[in-house]
Structures are given as structure tokens and as C-alpha cells.
């Protein structure tokens, strides 16, 4: 048998031809694609609008400094996080400037201090006399072991946004509210059940016991600290046990007042439009996002300070945040620092951030600007900027530990267990839950300490 | 297969079976239909209608409210065309080279008796039980030391030696390549390489094309490896690119559905064209036919 | 096969060389490396420190790891009891010569397994959304008592994942069962029929023993695949890096991925990976023994 004839008598099947053809064509295509050019410095940001936000500032800078150009690139949140961490871990290229959200920035602080991928900005700030421009408490989420690695875009005080139309139609005067207890007592009549399904048609507060943001806001407000100033975990304090035990009745039992209207989803927003929830925790950036995306609520919402946990207590909290930092791999860091100052300390950015997104600047030099006193028709003519700025000195200090999210997750687990326990026993009052809360928090504390103890890179803060 | 006495079931039982098949078939297809409808609706209609927006047109559908703007946006404003090119490139190159690697390896193991054959075979097949996740970290480390992170090669090279592929080809060689043909060719004076390409490969053609399609689809759908290895957006395949749309345009579900449709349509088409080869290749490893 | 003497001793290695080169670099070497890593603590590939058995000691006392184990085992059990019967049931329905359009139905049932997990996650998170999701809105219009805000993704994490996995894999395994059923000798079934065996008895005593080898393989595939569940929950709950509400979506491999690539601790990730490997090998051995006992 001739082997050549044997082979040629059988044609290849279509699958092989199709895929071979695809391979040849696509390889040619990929080879012909021009390599992306890397001229000048690059800024990665995850917020779509920031790319546009900086457009005019960047254009002006690039005109004035043709040899140190800067361009902004918008990258999806998760991808930015991955690329930043891979860059810090393994030296793959990252941008020179990184604009990142709090939970991402935090991840960079786990290793040894000299391996943090961001440039230490502490000395630059001192040298330029800018340390006092921003309240020291505002820096903690962007610091590790006492060193500052990023400049925040804002300090994000939290107010309470409520459906003024519903509240005022019921003849309720919110100025009488000072504490959460006042709030629940006065607004309780709004939780009627007219459709007769045995459940209230409406709840007083948007939030849920398994939502880290809800619980983080409330714990911070109550000074229920998860870490001490030195960065050591302090989960098992009496205050934490008390607050978690008190929170159970918000989410379960006969006095439940909260419902889960999720943020940023269409379903959650529709629930808000229908008035399913009366009040929502409202940091400045979320107020801006509502004004842009939830237009049907214009003129129906007002802001008020958070009701306090106790009379005379703190009337605000903090939620979210974005910083800009310089990658250590960036050439000529001093020059990048100039870029950071130009972007983040400019009056122009403070103005765009407030006018477009209602984010109030953390820089004291801008706080007198008249725009902050302007009445905003979306919030029934309230001077939104001033309401947020009034809380500047009350914003709680947030922890800087890279284990913040783990600690919060453990606190959430404790709250979940407490809630289950209450539902099983039918006792929702804080007094009967507190002993269990103590016990669970002690376990959580041990678990977190074990986790931190196995990290040989993270030395105790000075 | 001739009809058996028991198979001529009563009409009712046949109707019941048809009924079940149609119900399950619909349940299987509804997500696709829903996605197709969602991708051609406007953002507003997405929330107010389940399939197509109701209106006064033919069949009570508002045909005039349908739009292709999502697709235009994907290809004009978003880097989906580039991601498509990347996906085709990665899937086709990986599957062609992996098929050759596995076929050659399977041939070497099946048709030659040599010292160390058993050791090599069991070492390779033994890794089937190793969870792929265990290798994610150390493979990344290896790629890092080789300088291949964020290069196409860093994704392509590790996909070229799947243990499953070697197993399939070894099996195919044992079952369908008669040793006599190889012997005869050797006597004819054929070189070893020529024997492999001109005699052995044509015989196992069905397995070749089945494995090509299987690996093509597998690599097309791979999400985690490209997400770890390929860092720059210009190298993203569709799986990563479309998933990141969800982060940037999370509220525009019509756009995301259109993107998903664009990403799965090519492999669907390939599968429909080559389904027989695909399924026979899949089952040949487990079921001796 | 009779040994051939006419090839040089280098020939088989020539054919094996490309495969072995890749296999050695990207499978064998990383596997060896992961053994070393399991005794180290790392912060990315550049920063490492030897910690001895600490990783393994910690994994045994790590509550998050045990949460992951519980979720994974739960999912695996649910996957086995939903996917295998569904696949076998579909195959039995289709394995009847008197049903028309069998090839079309087979094609329909198989198509979901062509869809990548990333896309399944995108589709299902939209399908299962509160209010606007297709599942809730159609259930609500069929049964008005159904709550349109039924929190599938928020409170029914496992059922949501199991439903998605079922949709994805039932048709895939069906194909294997179908191939096995078509190999069952018709005479055996006919003989049983003549003996007066009912449909259930025929299935139980004739069909099932014949397809048992395939059933074993499918069980092995379903279980080992489910124990490695990762992409689906990770992408469903991408905003919490795969943890899901109250960690209900956290699986062993998700946890491994998080520690390795978000915390940069490739050492601890390797330790978790080896624990998982032991479980998988253990299950494979157990299954082999049971198969052998069944045969003898």
C-alpha cells in the first residue's frame, strides 16, 4: 500500500479547516494590531466620569508641560484592582498614578511597609506644608503604620436622606428627632399595612444586617471601634456588643424597621421611587448619584443629620472614599507628586466634584466657597454642601488596618448569628442578647488575631 | 435499531413524553430567548416588558421600538471587536497547537514500546485528579519568573498540554491505528515524521476535529486564567471584556445582554456546524462505542 | 501489540518532547513548587518567608475555610442529586425510537453547556434579580401570590447556584448517558419484556447494570467538578469577591483564589489546594473501591 495515496484519499473534515483558517486569520490580525503607545504618564481611574472630569485640567497641564504629559484611562473596578495588585506583587507594569477606592487601596498595605506599592507621601505633604489642609482623621483609611500613601478625594460624611413628601404629609416634624429611638417612634405611623398581606407596606430605613455598608456606617457612628489607634483589633469591647445587640431588633422581630432596598440596582431604585423605604444613609457622593439617576425623586427628598445613638451623640458617619496615589514603579516620583497636587488640590476639581457629583472637598482652603451654600432644588432647596461641611469635625476616624474588611465581616457574622438566635427564641431586646454578643465577639476577636498573627510581614504599628 | 415490543407505547404515554420534552426544552431555551429579546430592546423597555415590548404592531409587539444601538455601541465605542479578535486568536491557536501536541504525545505513548513509558503515562494521567486551582498560584509564579505575565504566550503555553487530551489521543491511537500500517510504511522507507503526519493523523481525523472543537470552546469560555495572566485591556478575550462591562455599565442591562450574545454566538455557531464531531469526541473518552 | 524493532530509541521521545516540555514547565514544576509554597508565607511571588507547618495548622482552625468546606460539600451533594437524575431522565426520554425530533431535543438540551461560566453568571444574575428579573416576574404573573421581590440572590444563594449549575450541566451529562443507553443490547430489554418485567423493573435490573460504568464516571465527574466549584459563585457575587451574602457563596477554591490573588498569600493558597487535592484523591479512591466491589 502506498502511504501517500492512503493519505490523500481522505480529506480533512470541516471542523479542522474552519479552525485552521481562524488561526491563520486571527494571528495575522493580532500581529497587525499596533502596539499601544505609552507617551508620558498614565492615570488609572475606575470612575467613568473622572476620565471626563479631569479632561480640562489635564488638557491645560499638557499644554503647559509638553514634556511631562499625563493621560487618564478608565478601567473597570475589579480589573483595576487586579492589575494594581498584580503590579505590586509581581512588577507587571501599572499606571504612574492610581485612583483607587478604599477597599482596593487597603489591599496594598498587607505586606512589609517597604513593599507597599504606593509612594509614601507623608514627607511630601510635610515639605509642602499641606498636612493641615485636610483633617488628620480623614487620612487614616489611606495610611498604614502611620505613613500616608494617598490623597483622598473627599471625606464623605453621611447624612440621612428621607422622603420629605411622605414624612410631611403625615405631619411629622423631623426637627424633634435627636436619637434613633426618636426617629423610630415618630416615624412609626408611616409603616402601615394597607394591602393586607400582614407585612408593612413601607419600612423606615434602607439597609440590612448582611450589608457591610449599613453596619459599617452604624458602628462608626456609635464609636463601636473594630481597631484601636495602634491598629490592633478590638472586636470584643462592651460597646461593640451593645450596639450589635441593639441592632438586631432593627432587622428582625416585631419592631423591625429596616428593609433591603439595594443600592445602584434598578430594583432597589424602583423600591425607593415607590416609597418602600423612607430613609437612606446618604454620603455626599451618593447624594450626587441620586440627583443624577433618581430624577423622579427631585423635590421629594431632604437631608438631616443622622439620629444619634444617645442624646448628644455623633450625628454623622463615613462611607466610601477614593484616593489618588503614586505607584512606586513610576519614574521621577517628585514630578508625579506635582501632578497629584495639580489634580487633587486644585480649586477646579473641588468645583467639578461638587457641581457634578456633590462631593465636598476635604481641603479646608475650599470650604468657604459660595457654591457650598447654594440651595439645591433636588433636596427641596437645602444648602447641601453646607449640611455636609457642618459635619466635618464630627466624621469618625476610620481604621487603617488592611484587616478592616475581615473585621467588619466578622462583626456581620456575629450580628447574623444574634439575629438567628433572636428569631429562634423570640427575644429581640438588646439586654437579653448582649451576653451572647460578648461571647461571639470574643471568638471573632480570637479568630482575627490568629489571622493577623500569621502574617509575618505586617509588624505592629509604631 | 428495530422497534421493540415495549417501545410501541400507548399514545398517551408518548404524548406525555412529548409534553415533558417540550417543557424541559422551553426551560432550557427561555434564558436564550430572553437574552435575545433583551439585547434588542431599549434600556427603558428592558424593565417594562419580559420579552418584546408590547405594542400595536404584528403579533402585538412594538417592532418599531426595537433597536440595534447596543450592538453598534459595543463595536463602535467599546473594545469588543478587539476582544473578539483576541478570543478567536487565543482559542484557535491554542486548540491547533494543543491538538498537535497531544496527538504527537498520544502517538508516542501508544505506538512505541520504550523504557519509562509506564512512568510517563501514569505521571501525566495522575495529574487529572489535581485540582486546577492548586496550580493557579505556582503557575502564575512560573510565568512571572519567565517574564510571561501579560503576554499572549503566558496564556497560550500552559494550555498546550492538557492531560485529558493526551488520554483521548492515546486511546484513539490504541483503538483505531493498526500497527501493521505503521510497520508497512516503515518498510516502504517512510520517515517517522512523515508516518505520523501522512498516515496516523488522517486515520484519527474524527478525534482530531472533535478535540479541536472541544478545546476551542473550552479556551473561548475560559475566564479565570486570562483574567489572571492577561492584564492589559487590549489583550482581554471576550469573557473578561464582557464581564468588565458589568462593572462599568452595570445599569444598562440591554447593553450587557447584547455583549453576552455577541460573545456566545460564535461558539454556538461553531458548535451547531460541528455538533456531531463535538459530541462523539466528548463521549468517546467515557463510553466505548 | 507486538513490539516493533525498526524505530530508533529516540523516536518516541521525539513525539513526546513538545508535550513533555510544556507539561514539565507548566504542570509538573508548578505542582512541585506548590509543595514548597505550602510551607511558606508569601506576598506575591517576590516576597516569601518559610513558616513550616503553620499554614496547615491555620487551615484547620480557620473558620472561613470551614465555612467554605460546608458550602462546597452542600453544593456537591445538591449537584449530585439534581444533575445526575436530570441528565439520566432526559436521556431516558430521548432514548426511544418512537419519539420524533430526538436529535433536535438533544441539541437543545446540550446547548447550555457551550455557554461559558462567565456568561452564565451574567445571564443568571439578571434572570434572578428581584422584581425585574425574569424568574420573579414570570412567577408573579403566573401565581399572583408570588412575591415579585423574592430575594433569590440575596437569601437563596445555594438554590440559585444549583439552578444555574443544573441548567448548565444536565444536557452535558445527558449526552454521555444517551451514548451508554444506545449501547444497551436490545435483546436484553426484549427478553426482560417477554419475562413480564414492568418499565421500572426493566430499568432497575437490565438498563441500570448495563450503564453502571458510565454512571460511575459521571458521578466522579460531577463530584470532583462540584468540589472545585469556583467561577459561578465568584462571578455571581463579584462585588464581594465571591463571598456572597453572609459568606454563603464562599467555596474552597474561591477562598484559595482570594488568599492567593487578593491577599497575595500564595503559600496559604497552596496549603488549601493540597487539602482539597487530598479530598479529591480520597474520593476517587473510594469510588474506585466501590466500583470494584460492585463488579465482583
Residue indicated by cell numbers 491557536: B93
Cβ–Cβ under 8 Å, residues A14 and B206: no
The residues in B 221-280 lying below 8 A from C, measured between CB atoms, are 221-224, 228, 239-240, 242-243, 246-247, 253, 256-257, 260, 263-264, 267-268, 271-272, 275, 279
Both A286 and A340 in one domain: the answer is: no
Nearest to A398 by CA among A457, A309, A319, A345: A319
Helices B253-284 and C117-127: crossing angle in degrees, nearest 10, is: 130
Q: Which domains are seen in chain C, by residue range?
A: 54-117+169-295 (1.10.3720.10)
Is it the case that residue B48 has pLDDT exceeding 90?
A: no
CA of A398, closest CA in chain C: separation in Å? 20
C-alpha cell at C29: 514544576
Kindly list the residues from chain A whose CB atom is less than 8 angstroms away from the CB atom of residue C55: 454
Map residue C174 onto helix, strand or coil: helix
Both B58 and B187 in one domain: the answer is: no
Region label for A380, one of left (φ > 0), alpha (ψ between -120 and 50) or beta (otherwise):
left
Residues A111, A114, A116, A119, Cα dihedral to 10°: 170
Kindly list the residues from chain C whose CB atom is less than 8 angstroms away from the CB atom of residue A403: none
Q: What is the pLDDT of residues C91-136, one digit of tens each?
A: 999 988 888 888 899 999 999 999 999 899 989 998 998 877 889 8
Which pLDDT belongs to residue A459? 42
In a domain, B109, yes or no: yes
Give the Cα separation of A290 and A278 in Å (integer).
Answer: 15
Q: What is the pLDDT of residues A209-262, one digit of tens each?
A: 988 899 999 999 999 999 998 888 999 999 999 999 999 999 999 999 999 887
Give the Cα separation of C127 and C131 in Å (integer).
Answer: 10
CA angle A429, A434, A436 (to 5 degrees): 115
Both B101 and B61 in one domain: the answer is: no
Give the Cα separation of A314 and A297 in Å (integer).
Answer: 28
Which pLDDT belongs to residue A303? 96
Both A165 and A269 in one domain: the answer is: yes
**H helix runs in chain B, sequence order:** 11-39, 43-48, 69-76, 80-111, 117-126, 132-146, 152-156, 163-176, 179-188, 192-194, 201-203, 205-221, 224-229, 238-248, 253-284
Both B176 and B262 in one domain: the answer is: yes
Q: Band of the pLDDT at A461, cuts 50, 70, 90?
A: very low
Q: What is the pLDDT of residues A298-356, one digit of tens each?
A: 999 999 999 999 999 999 999 988 999 999 988 889 989 988 888 888 888 899 889 98
Which pLDDT belongs to residue B288? 46
Beta-carbon separation of C47 and A267 below 8 A: no
Q: Band of the pLDDT at A444, cuts 50, 70, 90?
A: very high
Interface A-C, measured as beta-carbon pairs within 8 A, has a size of 80
Give the Cα separation of B154 and B134 in Å (integer).
Answer: 18
Q: DSSP of A203-266, one letter per residue?
A: EEEE--TT-HHHHHHHHHHTT--SB-TTS-B-TT-HHHHHHHHHHHHHHSSTT--EE---TTSH
Both A303 and A324 in one domain: the answer is: no
Cβ–Cβ under 8 Å, residues B188 and A2: yes
In chain A, the number of structural domains is 2
Taking the Cβ of residue B244 and every Cβ of chain A, the question of whether any pair is shorter than 8 Å is answered with yes
Is it the case that residue B286 has pLDDT exceeding 60?
A: no
Q: What is the pLDDT of residues A34-44, one digit of tens each?
A: 776 666 788 88
Beta-carbon separation of C49 and A457 below 8 A: yes
Map residue B186 onto helix, strand or coil: helix
Kindly list the residues from chain B whose CB atom is less than 8 angstroms away from the CB atom of residue A295: none
Both A271 and A404 in one domain: the answer is: yes
Give the Cα separation of B88 and B82 in Å (integer).
Answer: 10
Give the Cα separation of C281 and C258 in Å (integer).
Answer: 23
CA angle B3, B9, B13 (to 5 degrees): 140
Q: What is the pLDDT of residues B4-40, one digit of tens each?
A: 444 456 788 888 999 999 999 999 999 999 999 889 8
The residues in B 63-122 lying below 8 A from C, measured between CB atoms, are 100-102, 104-105, 107-109, 111-114, 117, 120
Beta-carbon separation of B134 and C189 below 8 A: no
In a domain, B188, yes or no: yes
Residue indicated by cell numbers 498520544: B106
Both B136 and B272 in one domain: the answer is: yes
Q: Which residue has the higher pLDDT, B160 or C63?
A: B160
Residues found in chain B:
289
Residue among C25, C26, C85, C224 with most chain B CBs within 10 A, to mutate: C26
Nearest to B199 by CA among A235, A61, A7, A281: A7
Both B9 and B100 in one domain: the answer is: no
Say how many CA atoms lie within 13 Å of A356 toward its Cβ.
12
Which pLDDT belongs to residue C294? 65
Q: Band of the pLDDT at B234, cuts 50, 70, 90?
A: confident
The residues, any chain, with a CB within 8 Å of residue A304's CB and separated by 6 or more, are A159, A160, A162, A174, A177
CA of C118, closest CA in chain A: separation in Å? 14
Map residue A381 onto helix, strand or coil: coil
Question: Per-residue pLDDT averaged across B94-123, rounded?
Answer: 93
Q: What is the mean pLDDT of chain A?
A: 86
Both A240 and A327 in one domain: the answer is: no
Instruction: List residues bridging with A233 in a β-sheet.
Output: A227
Give the Cα separation of B159 and B219 in Å (integer).
Answer: 8
Is it the case that residue A1 has pLDDT exceeding 50?
A: no
Q: What is the pLDDT of residues A124-163, one digit of tens each?
A: 999 988 888 888 888 888 988 889 999 999 999 999 999 9
C-alpha cell at C248: 454563603
Nearest to A5 by CA among B107, B193, B181: B181
Q: What is the pLDDT of residues A42-84, one digit of tens each?
A: 888 877 655 566 777 788 888 888 877 888 887 877 788 888 8
> Residue C58 is nearest to which of A107, A454, A456, comparing CB atoms?
A454
Both B185 and B261 in one domain: the answer is: yes
Beta-carbon separation of A266 and B181 below 8 A: no
Kindly list the residues from chain A whose CB atom is less than 8 angstroms away from the CB atom of residue B250: 264
Q: What is the pLDDT of residues B64-73, one digit of tens each?
A: 778 888 898 8
In a domain, A213, yes or no: yes
Kindly list the residues from chain A whose CB atom is less than 8 angstroms away from the CB atom of residue B79: none
Both A326 and A243 in one domain: the answer is: no
Kindly list the residues from chain C whose CB atom is less than 8 angstroms away from the CB atom of residue B196: 15
CA of C193, closest CA in chain A: separation in Å? 42
Q: What ipTM was assigned to the predicted interfaces of this complex?
A: 0.87
Give the Cα separation of B118 and C280 in Å (integer).
Answer: 23
Which residue range is the domain that position A310 belongs to?
A: 158-315+396-453
In a domain, B289, yes or no: no
Which pLDDT belongs to residue A6? 39
Cβ–Cβ under 8 Å, residues B228 and B136: yes
Which pLDDT belongs to residue B1? 40
In a domain, B261, yes or no: yes
Q: What is the pLDDT of residues A385-440, one digit of tens each?
A: 999 999 998 999 998 888 888 899 899 999 999 999 999 999 999 999 999 999 99
Q: What is the pLDDT of residues A16-29, one digit of tens each?
A: 888 899 999 999 99
Both B135 and B265 in one domain: the answer is: yes
In a domain, A257, yes or no: yes
Both A170 and A246 in one domain: the answer is: yes
Looking at B46, B67, B88, which one is the last position of a domain? B67
Looking at B67, B84, B105, which one is the last position of a domain? B67
The sheet with strand A151-152 has its strands ordered as A70-74, A41-45, A97-101, A322-326, A151-152
Which pLDDT belongs to residue C131? 75
Question: First-to-last CA distance in chain A?
Answer: 84
Both A164 and A281 in one domain: the answer is: yes
Both B33 and B89 in one domain: the answer is: no
Cβ–Cβ under 8 Å, residues A281 and A152: no
Taking the Cβ of residue C155 and every Cβ of chain B, the question of whether any pair is shorter than 8 Å is answered with no
Give the Cα separation of C167 and B89 in Å (integer).
Answer: 29
Which pLDDT belongs to residue C1? 41
Kindly list the residues from chain A whose CB atom is less than 8 angstroms away from the CB atom of residue B194: 3
Give the Cα separation of B237 and B91 in Å (integer).
Answer: 9
Instruction: List residues bridging with A382 in a β-sheet.
Output: A376
In chain B, the number of structural domains is 2
Looking at B67, B93, B118, which one is the last position of a domain? B67
CA of C270, closest CA in chain B: separation in Å? 6
Is it the case that residue A462 has pLDDT exceeding 50?
A: no
Both B58 and B149 in one domain: the answer is: no
Both A165 and A290 in one domain: the answer is: yes
Both B77 and B36 in one domain: the answer is: no
Is it the case that residue A460 has pLDDT exceeding 60?
A: no
Map residue A336 onto helix, strand or coil: helix
* pTM, two decimal places: 0.85
Q: What is the pLDDT of residues A96-129, one digit of tens each?
A: 999 988 877 877 887 778 888 899 999 999 998 8
Listed as ranges, residues in chain C with pLDDT below 50 are 1-5
> Residue C191's Cα: distance from chain center in Å?
37
Q: Which residue has the higher pLDDT, C292 or B90?
A: B90
Beta-carbon separation of C154 and A260 below 8 A: yes
CB-CB neighbours of B250 under 10 Å? 16
Report the chain C residue with the minimal C-alpha distance to residue A405: C240
Give the Cα separation of C273 and C270 in Å (integer).
Answer: 5
Which pLDDT belongs to residue C295? 61
Kindly list the residues from chain A whose CB atom is less than 8 angstroms away from the CB atom of residue C264: 85, 89, 110-111
Beta-carbon separation of C45 and A90 below 8 A: yes
Both A274 and A212 in one domain: the answer is: yes
Is it the case that residue A458 has pLDDT exceeding 70?
A: no
CATH of residue A142: 3.40.190.10
Taking the Cβ of residue B231 and every Cβ of chain A, the question of whether any pair is shorter than 8 Å is answered with yes
In a domain, A241, yes or no: yes
| Phi/psi at A375 (5° precision) | -70, 140
In a domain, B26, yes or no: yes
In a domain, A32, yes or no: no
CA of A402, closest CA in chain C: separation in Å? 10
Both A296 and A332 in one domain: the answer is: no
Both B125 and B153 in one domain: the answer is: yes
Residue among C17, C30, C90, C257 with most chain B CBs within 10 A, to mutate: C30
In a domain, B40, yes or no: yes
Which pLDDT belongs to residue A277? 92
Which pLDDT belongs to residue C192? 85
CATH of residue B145: 1.10.3720.10
Give the Cα separation of B228 and B46 in Å (integer).
Answer: 33
Task: State the chains in contact with B (3 or more Cβ–Cβ pairs under 8 Å).
Answer: A, C
Work out the burial of residue B68: count CB atoms within 10 Å of its CB; fewer than 13 is exposed, 13-18 middle, 19 or more buried: exposed
Beta-carbon separation of C47 and A270 below 8 A: no
Which residue range is the domain that position B259 belongs to?
A: 73-284
Amino acid at each position: 500500500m502506498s502511504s501517500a495515496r492512503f493519505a490523500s484519499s481522505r480529506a480533512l473534515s470541516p471542523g479542522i479547516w474552519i479552525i485552521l483558517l481562524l488561526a491563520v486569520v486571527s494571528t495575522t490580525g493580532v500581529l497587525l494590531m499596533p502596539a499601544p503607545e505609552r507617551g508620558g504618564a498614565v492615570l488609572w481611574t475606575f470612575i467613568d466620569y473622572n476620565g471626563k472630569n479631569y479632561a480640562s485640567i489635564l488638557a491645560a497641564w499638557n499644554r503647559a508641560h509638553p514634556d511631562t504629559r499625563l493621560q487618564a484611562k478608565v478601567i473597570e473596578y475589579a480589573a483595576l484592582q487586579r492589575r494594581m495588585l498584580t503590579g505590586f506583587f509581581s512588577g507587571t507594569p501599572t499606571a504612574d498614578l492610581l485612583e483607587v477606592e478604599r477597599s482596593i487601596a487597603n489591599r496594598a498595605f498587607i505586606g512589609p511597609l517597604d513593599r507597599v506599592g504606593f509612594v509614601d507621601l507623608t514627607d511630601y505633604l510635610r515639605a509642602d506644608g499641606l498636612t493641615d489642609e485636610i483633617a488628620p482623621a480623614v487620612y487614616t483609611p489611606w495610611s498604614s503604620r502611620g505613613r500616608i500613601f494617598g490623597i483622598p478625594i473627599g471625606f464623605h460624611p453621611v447624612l440621612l436622606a428621607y422622603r420629605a413628601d411622605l414624612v410631611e404629609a403625615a405631619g411629622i416634624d423631623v426637627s424633634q428627632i435627636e436619637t434613633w429611638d426618636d426617629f423610630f417612634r415618630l416615624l412609626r405611623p408611616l409603616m402601615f399595612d394597607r394591602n393586607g398581606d400582614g407585612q408593612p407596606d413601607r419600612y423606615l430605613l434602607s439597609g440590612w444586617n448582611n450589608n457591610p455598608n449599613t453596619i459599617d456606617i452604624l458602628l462608626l457612628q456609635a464609636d463601636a471601634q473594630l481597631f484601636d489607634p495602634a491598629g490592633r483589633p478590638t472586636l470584643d469591647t462592651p460597646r461593640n456588643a451593645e450596639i450589635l445587640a441593639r441592632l438586631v431588633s432593627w432587622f428582625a422581630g416585631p419592631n423591625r424597621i429596616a428593609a433591603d432596598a439595594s443600592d445602584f440596582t434598578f430594583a432597589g431604585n424602583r423600591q425607593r421611587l415607590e416609597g418602600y423605604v423612607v430613609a437612606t444613609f446618604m454620603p455626599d457622593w451618593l447624594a450626587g448619584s441620586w440627583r443624577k439617576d433618581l430624577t423622579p425623586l427631585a423635590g421629594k427628598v431632604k437631608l438631616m443629620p443622622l439620629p444619634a445613638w444617645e442624646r448628644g451623640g455623633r450625628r454623622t458617619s463615613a462611607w466610601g472614599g477614593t484616593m489618588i496615589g503614586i505607584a512606586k514603579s513610576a519614574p521621577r516620583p517628585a514630578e508625579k507628586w506635582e501632578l497629584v497636587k495639580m489634580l487633587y488640590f486644585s480649586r477646579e476639581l473641588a468645583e467639578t466634584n461638587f457641581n457634578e457629583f456633590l462631593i465636598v472637598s476635604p481641603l479646608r482652603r475650599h470650604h468657604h466657597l459660595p457654591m457650598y451654600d447654594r440651595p439645591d432644588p433636588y433636596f427641596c432647596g437645602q444648602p447641601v454642601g453646607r449640611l455636609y461641611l457642618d459635619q466635618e469635625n464630627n466624621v469618625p476616624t476610620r481604621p487603617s488596618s488592611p484587616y478592616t474588611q475581615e473585621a467588619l465581616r466578622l462583626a456581620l457574622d456575629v450580628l447574623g448569628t444574634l439575629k438567628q438566635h433572636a428569631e429562634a427564641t423570640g427575644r429581640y431586646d438588646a439586654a437579653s442578647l448582649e451576653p451572647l454578643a460578648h461571647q461571639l465577639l470574643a471568638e471573632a476577636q480570637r479568630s482575627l488575631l490568629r489571622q493577623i498573627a500569621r502574617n509575618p510581614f505586617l509588624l505592629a504599628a509604631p | 435499531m428495530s422497534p421493540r415490543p415495549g417501545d410501541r407505547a400507548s399514545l398517551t404515554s408518548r404524548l406525555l413524553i412529548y409534553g415533558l420534552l417540550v417543557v424541559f426544552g422551553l426551560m432550557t431555551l427561555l434564558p436564550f430567548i430572553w437574552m435575545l429579546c433583551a439585547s434588542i430592546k431599549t434600556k427603558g423597555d428592558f424593565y417594562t416588558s419580559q420579552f418584546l415590548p408590547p405594542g400595536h404592531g404584528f403579533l402585538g409587539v412594538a417592532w418599531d421600538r426595537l433597536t440595534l444601538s447596543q450592538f453598534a455601541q459595543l463595536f463602535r465605542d467599546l473594545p469588543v471587536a478587539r476582544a473578539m479578535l483576541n478570543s478567536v486568536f487565543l482559542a484557535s491557536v491554542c486548540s491547533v497547537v494543543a491538538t498537535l501536541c497531544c496527538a504527537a504525545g498520544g502517538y508516542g505513548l501508544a505506538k512505541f514500546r520504550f523504557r519509562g513509558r509506564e512512568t510517563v503515562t501514569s505521571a501525566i494521567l495522575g495529574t487529572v485528579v489535581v485540582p486546577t486551582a492548586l496550580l493557579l498560584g505556582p503557575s502564575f509564579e512560573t510565568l512571572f519568573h519567565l517574564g510571561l505575565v501579560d503576554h499572549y504566550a503566558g496564556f497560550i503555553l500552559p494550555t498546550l498540554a492538557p492531560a485529558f487530551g493526551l488520554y483521548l489521543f492515546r486511546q484513539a491511537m490504541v483503538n483505531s491505528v493498526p500497527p501493521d500500517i505503521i510497520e508497512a510504511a516503515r518498510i516502504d522507507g517512510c520517515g517517522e515524521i512523515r508516518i505520523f503526519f501522512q498516515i496516523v493523523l488522517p486515520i484519527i481525523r474524527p478525534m482530531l476535529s472533535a478535540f479541536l472543537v472541544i478545546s476551542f470552546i473550552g479556551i473561548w469560555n475560559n475566564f479565570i486564567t486570562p483574567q489572571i495572566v492577561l492584564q492589559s485591556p487590549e489583550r482581554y478575550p471576550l469573557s473578561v471584556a464582557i464581564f468588565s462591562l458589568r462593572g462599568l455599565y452595570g445599569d444598562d442591562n440591554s447593553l450587557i445582554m447584547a455583549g453576552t450574545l455577541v460573545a456566545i454566538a460564535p461558539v454556538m455557531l461553531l458548535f451547531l456546524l460541528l455538533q456531531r464531531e463535538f459530541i462523539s469526541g466528548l463521549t468517546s473518552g467515557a463510553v466505548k462505542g | 501489540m507486538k513490539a516493533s524493532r525498526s524505530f530508533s530509541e529516540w523516536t518516541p521521545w521525539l513525539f513526546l518532547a513538545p508535550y513533555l516540555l510544556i507539561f514539565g514547565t507548566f504542570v509538573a514544576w508548578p505542582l512541585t513548587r506548590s509543595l514548597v509554597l505550602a510551607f511558606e508565607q508569601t506576598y506575591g511571588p517576590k516576597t516569601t518567608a518559610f513558616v513550616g507547618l503553620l499554614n496547615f495548622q491555620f487551615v484547620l482552625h480557620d473558620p472561613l475555610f470551614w465555612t467554605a468546606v460546608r458550602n462546597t460539600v452542600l453544593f456537591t451533594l445538591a449537584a449530585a442529586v439534581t444533575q445526575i437524575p436530570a441528565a439520566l431522565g432526559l436521556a431516558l426520554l430521548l432514548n426511544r425510537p418512537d419519539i420524533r425530533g430526538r436529535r433536535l431535543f438533544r441539541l437543545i438540551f446540550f446547548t447550555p453547556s457551550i455557554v461559558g461560566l462567565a456568561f452564565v453568571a451574567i445571564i443568571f444574575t439578571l434572570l434572578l434579580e428581584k422584581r425585574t428579573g425574569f424568574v420573579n416576574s414570570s412567577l408573579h404573573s403566573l401565581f399572583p401570590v408570588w412575591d415579585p421581590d423574592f430575594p433569590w440572590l440575596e437569601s437563596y444563594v445555594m438554590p440559585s447556584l444549583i439552578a444555574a449549575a443544573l441548567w448548565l450541566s444536565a444536557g452535558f451529562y445527558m449526552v454521555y448517558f444517551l451514548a451508554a443507553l444506545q449501547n444497551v443490547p436490545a435483546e436484553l430489554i426484549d427478553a426482560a419484556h417477554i419475562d413480564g418485567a414492568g418499565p421500572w423493573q426493566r430499568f432497575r435490573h437490565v438498563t441500570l447494570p448495563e450503564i453502571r460504568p458510565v454512571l460511575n464516571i459521571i458521578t466522579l465527574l460531577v463530584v470532583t467538578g462540584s468540589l472545585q466549584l469556583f467561577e459561578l459563585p465568584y462571578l455571581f457575587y463579584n462585588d464581594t469577591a465571591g463571598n456572597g451574602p453572609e459568606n454563603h457563596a464562599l467555596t474552597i477554591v474561591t477562598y484559595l483564589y482570594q488568599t492567593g490573588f487578593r491577599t497575595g498569600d500564595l503559600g496559604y493558597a497552596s496549603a488549601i489546594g493540597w487539602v482539597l487535592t487530598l479530598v479529591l484523591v480520597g474520593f476517587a479512591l473510594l469510588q474506585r473501591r466501590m466500583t470494584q466491589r460492585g463488579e465482583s
